[in-house]
């Protein structure tokens, strides 16, 4: 009986720690949560990590429209190839700058390849031939880009955070939100 009481107390302490941890995230964790939410197609979750200034400039609905990933199938295929790490966090009073290294597929390179191979002038005029051409080329790219040959691009991005109501909130620049 005593063992059960001790285990219950330990479980309650762990649960309280986890709940408190979820509310009181450090700047590093807020940025990781934001990046995860964006990459996984959860703009509503990302929106709640934004500063009140960002929320005044753009409603949740407007933010969702700008950050929606569209078709979930395509987004999930691409998201597997996105990764990010935090390089460093600089704190100064109630502000923070978090430097993140983000790796994604090199979309410009891939789309250049697609447009060169599937340029409108290369598509046959006959409907059936055009259908075959498009299917073959799309299959070709799905085969190529589902393997380990996806070209990747790594960039460093800075996120600025401010402390509001004892929580770190991301403050996006005007063009970013």
CATH code for position 157:
3.10.450.100
Residue 140 within a domain = no
- How far is Cα 50 from Cα 30, in angstroms, rounded to an integer? 9
Give pLDDT, residue 174: 67
Q: Which two tokens stand for residue 64?
A: 């969702």
Residue 144 within a domain = no
Residue 98 within a domain = yes
| pTM, to two decimals | 0.74
Q: What is the pLDDT along the chain (177 residues), one digit of tens a residue?
A: 777 677 677 766 656 555 444 458 999 999 999 999 999 889 999 999 999 999 999 999 999 999 988 776 667 777 788 999 999 999 999 999 999 999 998 889 888 888 888 888 888 999 999 999 989 888 887 777 776 678 899 999 999 999 999 899 999 986 565
Tell me which residue range forms the domain holding 160.
2-106+151-171
Give pLDDT, residue 15: 60
Residue 117 within a domain = no
Give pLDDT, residue 21: 43
Residue 63 within a domain = yes
Q: Which two tokens stand for residue 92?
A: 């100064």
Residue 88 within a domain = yes
Q: Which two tokens stand for residue 160?
A: 């600025």
Give pLDDT, residue 119: 84
Provide the number of structural domains found in the chain.
1
Give pLDDT, residue 176: 61
Give pLDDT, residue 19: 45
Give pLDDT, residue 20: 44
Closest CA to 28 of 67, 82, 80, 84: 84
């Amino acid at each position: 009986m005593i063992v059960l009481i001790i285990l219950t107390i330990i479980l309650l302490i762990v649960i309280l720690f986890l709940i408190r941890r979820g509310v009181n995230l450090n700047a590093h964790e807020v940025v990781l949560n934001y990046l995860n939410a964006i990459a996984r197609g959860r703009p509503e979750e990302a929106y709640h990590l934004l500063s009140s200034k960002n929320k005044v400039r753009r409603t949740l609905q407007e933010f969702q429209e700008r950050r929606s990933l569209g078709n979930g199938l395509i987004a999930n295929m691409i998201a597997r190839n996105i990764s990010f790490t935090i390089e460093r966090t600089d704190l100064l009073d109630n502000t923070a700058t978090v430097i993140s290294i983000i790796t994604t597929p090199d979309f410009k390179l891939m789309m250049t390849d697609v447009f060169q191979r599937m340029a409108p002038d290369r598509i046959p005029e006959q409907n059936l031939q055009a259908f075959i051409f498009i299917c073959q080329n799309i299959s070709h790219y799905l085969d190529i880009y589902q393997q380990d040959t996806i070209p990747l691009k790594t960039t460093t991005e800075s996120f600025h955070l401010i402390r509001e109501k004892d929580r770190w909130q991301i403050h996006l620049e005007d063009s970013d939100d």
